[in-house]
Amino acid sequence: MKQLTPRRITSSTAASALPTNCSMYIEQLVGSAEAAVEEVIRRGVAHPNKIAVGGHSYGAFMTANLLAHAPHIFCCGIARSGAYNRTLTPFGFQNEDRTLWEATNTYVEMSPFMSANKIKKPILLVHGEEDNNPGTLTMQSDRFFNALKGHGALCRLVILPFESHGYAARESIMHLLWETDRWLQNYCVSNTSDVNADIDPSTDDVSKEAIDPKSKAGGGGGGGDPELSHFECERFHSMPRSSLW
């Protein structure tokens, strides 16, 4: 009888058998999110229609992709300082070592900007005005917001003055918490609709008028609390630091 010699699997051998790029990113992301949500619902610690998703930097990129490709899971999202158009980072990112020209389809498919027409759930975008991270320049959120607004999505863009990729000032952090709390109170906590229901674009407010963060706007729009009317789909700049001391 021929004796079989056990094959030793080295780290390099094991690595070669695994995907080394992001070709399956969307499928893996959605599958992971579905598994996590199913588990918290099974444990009884979350309501299936009141689960939000959020993240910072690459987490913001993931948040936008989940709202685009898995709208049946989450009722709203909060994305902070993300990169939404991967063609603007053409020489690789995270686990993707191929360039845009070598893997054009992957770059396009992974970009939430290219799927802006699929996002129907409320999304809050936050970005530092002076983001110095080369992969998450402020224009990423600016252009993504314009794409969302152009397709009638219920969205809000908050630009934090003088802030880089991470937020440091007391007033910036406090304002971020205020924005987050209001967004979740209106589109997650008070959500009574089926999470699978699409938002009617005709009800979105696309006013460009600047809103003072201390003011309360009246009227209808966006399907949320009247206090949030006229403010979901507008670009919003926080007050300068000097005026907040």
Instruction: Tell me if residue 81 is catalytic.
Output: no
Out of 56, 131, 172, 238, which one is annotated catalytic? Answer: 131
In order, the DSSP letters of 55-111 are: EETHHHHHHHHHHHH-TTT-SEEEEES----GGGSTT-BTTB-S-TTTSHHHHHHH-
**CB distance 63 to 69 below 8 Å:** no
> In 10 A of CB 180, how many CB atoms?
17
For tokens 């209106």, the residue is: 186
Closest alpha carbon to 219 in 233, 234, 232, 230:
230
The pLDDT value recorded for residue 132 is: 92
**Tokens representing residue 182 in the block:** 């209001």
- Amino acid found at 160: L
Mean pLDDT of the 209-226 span: 36
Q: At what angle do helices 58-69 and 25-42 cross, to 10 degrees?
A: 80
Instruction: Tell me if residue 237 is catalytic.
Output: no
For tokens 């789909």, the residue is: 233
Q: Does the structure show a pLDDT above 80 at 223? A: no
**CB distance 124 to 183 below 8 Å:** yes
Out of 56, 69, 165, 175, which one is annotated catalytic? Answer: 165
CA–CA dist 67, 61 (Å, integer): 10
Beta bridge partners of 236: 158
Does residue 160 sit in helix, strand or coil?
strand
pLDDT grade for 214, boundaries at 50, 70 and 90: very low
Model pTM above 0.95: no
Task: Render the burial of 162-177: b for 16+ CB within 10 Å, e for the rest.
Answer: ebbbebebebbeebbe
Q: Per residue in 132-184, pLDDT tens?
A: 999 999 999 999 999 999 999 999 999 999 999 999 999 999 999 999 999 99
Task: Kindly list the domain boundaries of the chain, sorted by start residue.
Answer: 23-243
Instruction: Tell me if residue 57 is catalytic.
Output: yes
**Is the domain defined by 23-243 classed in CATH 3.40.50.1820?**
yes
**Tokens representing residue 46 in the block:** 């979350």
The pLDDT value recorded for residue 149 is: 96
